[in-house]
Chains A and B, each alone.
Chain A
């Protein structure tokens, strides 16, 4: 239970009876027409002490509906092996709520559990309308996307939205691997790099601001990185898999520290979201995902 919820329930006056009803059982009639998964996330934000505005509620609902339309959100897509029943998104952190407790909630599974990849923030962070920003000194985000909870061999995809460049010095936006190291870096020389187990692939001047998404398509080929929907890296290599387990983000470990899973080398960027998925997505899905996140951020004034 979050501290905010604890404080509310332990107060002499529990105001939760005045909350908007969201289910038939509490008189809300099922969430006023919102998608049930969007409503679950909205309710989780409320339980974490943040009251969602009308504009935010609309943006959240539109995002979830869009992800479902694109067959990204849920396990409903059967367009490729392994077919229906696969998980596409493990975690999507939209960083809504201007405080740590609501920003920790995973839109794809808003339960307050490590197994739902509810985040914890470690070190110094600032939360606001624009998202969540680590301090570049000792702040990182723990996802609980660990070997214990995920297969280490499943193909993955991941991405982020960032609106600031770290200054001065480099920034590392990535995760850790076990036997493999796969991470994405966008750093201050306006270049972006995918660092794979056995190779590194960098862009030229790609610019530092925007949305980045690393993935592999179901039809094979190399690992790709898109920035704002445009392809900026295609490894062309068909070897290896994009299967990093991203327990720590906005910090990364060097090779020697991977074994101890210790985060280090902290980013100071402002992030509007992070996303982690599994299995493959198509080029069209990757582009449409970016469009949905762009529309979501625009709706929130980010």
Chain B
């Protein structure tokens, strides 16, 4: 699957897969005005470095056009953090 095959409504279900070297290239870099890449680890074991489909689709920085060709994989969320409850107690 690639970026052009995704509908906007599917953006929150998929992410772009990065290599560790690609991750280092994107940290702190701008993909659009006032917008920065944010590579994060997903919830797979072992975890993958990923960026969101929005970052790929909205990238207008010519130095990083290559993100539009990243492999697309399903988004696996990391485990929820401890301090936050989601149940009805508290």
Does A293 make an interface contact (CB < 8 A)? no
B62 CB to closest chain A CB (Å) equals 11
Does A170 make an interface contact (CB < 8 A)? yes
User: Which of chain A's residues have a CB closer than 8 A to the CB of B40?
Assistant: 123, 137-138
User: Which of chain B's residues have a CB closer than 8 A to the CB of A189?
Assistant: 86-88
The answer on a CB contact under 8 Å between B54 and A126 is: yes
User: Which of chain A's residues have a CB closer than 8 A to the CB of B55?
Assistant: 123-124
The answer on a CB contact under 8 Å between B90 and A137 is: no
The answer on a CB contact under 8 Å between B38 and A138 is: yes
Does A140 make an interface contact (CB < 8 A)? yes
Does A119 make an interface contact (CB < 8 A)? yes
The answer on a CB contact under 8 Å between B38 and A135 is: no
Given contacts A123-B55, A268-B12, contact A170 B84 (CB under 8 A): yes
Q: Which residue of A lies closest to B83 (CB)?
A: A254
Given contacts A3-B32, A135-B11, A189-B87, contact A123 B80 (CB under 8 A): no
The answer on a CB contact under 8 Å between A124 and B53 is: yes
Does A271 make an interface contact (CB < 8 A)? no
Q: Which residue of B lies closest to A187 (CB)?
A: B86
The 5 closest A-B pairs by CB, nearest first: A124-B52, A124-B54, A123-B38, A3-B33, A101-B33
The answer on a CB contact under 8 Å between B81 and A124 is: no
Does A172 make an interface contact (CB < 8 A)? yes
The answer on a CB contact under 8 Å between A135 and B12 is: yes
The answer on a CB contact under 8 Å between B81 and A265 is: yes
B36, B38, B39, B80: which has the most chain A beta carbons within 10 Å?
B38
Does A87 make an interface contact (CB < 8 A)? no
User: Which of chain B's residues have a CB closer than 8 A to the CB of A187?
Assistant: 84, 86
User: Which of chain B's residues have a CB closer than 8 A to the CB of A123?
Assistant: 36-38, 40, 51-52, 54-55
Contact partner, A4, options B33, B77, B87, Cβ 8 Å: B33
A-B contact pairs, 21 of them (CB 8 A): A99-B33, A100-B33, A100-B34, A100-B35, A104-B33, A118-B34, A120-B34, A122-B37, A122-B38, A123-B38, A123-B51, A124-B54, A124-B55, A126-B11, A137-B15, A139-B54, A169-B80, A195-B83, A254-B81, A254-B82, A268-B12
Contact partner, A169, options B11, B50, B77, B90, Cβ 8 Å: B77
Does A151 make an interface contact (CB < 8 A)? no
Contact partner, A120, options B36, B50, B87, Cβ 8 Å: B36
* Majority secondary structure of chain B interface residues (helix, strand, loop or mixed): loop
User: Which of chain B's residues have a CB closer than 8 A to the CB of A244?
Assistant: none
State in angstroms the CA–CA spacing of A255 and B84 once bound together: 11
Q: 1/0 per residue A77-106: CB within 8 Å of B?
A: 000000000000000000000011101100
Residues of B within 8 A of A (CB-CB), count = 30
A176 CB to closest chain B CB (Å) equals 13
Given contacts A137-B12, A137-B75, contact A100 B32 (CB under 8 A): yes
Does A200 make an interface contact (CB < 8 A)? yes
User: Which of chain A's residues have a CB closer than 8 A to the CB of B51?
Assistant: 123-124, 138
A95 CB to closest chain B CB (Å) equals 12
The answer on a CB contact under 8 Å between B11 and A101 is: no
The answer on a CB contact under 8 Å between B80 and A136 is: no
Does A156 make an interface contact (CB < 8 A)? no
Q: Which residue of B lies closest to A193 (CB)?
A: B90
B55 CB to closest chain A CB (Å) equals 5
Q: Which residues of chain A (104-136) have a CB below 8 Å from chain B?
A: 104, 118-126, 135-136
Does A185 make an interface contact (CB < 8 A)? yes
State in angstroms the CA–CA spacing of A267 and B75 once bound together: 15
State in angstroms the CA–CA spacing of A38 and B34 once bound together: 22
Q: Which residues of chain A (252-296) have a CB below 8 Å from chain B?
A: 254-255, 264-265, 268
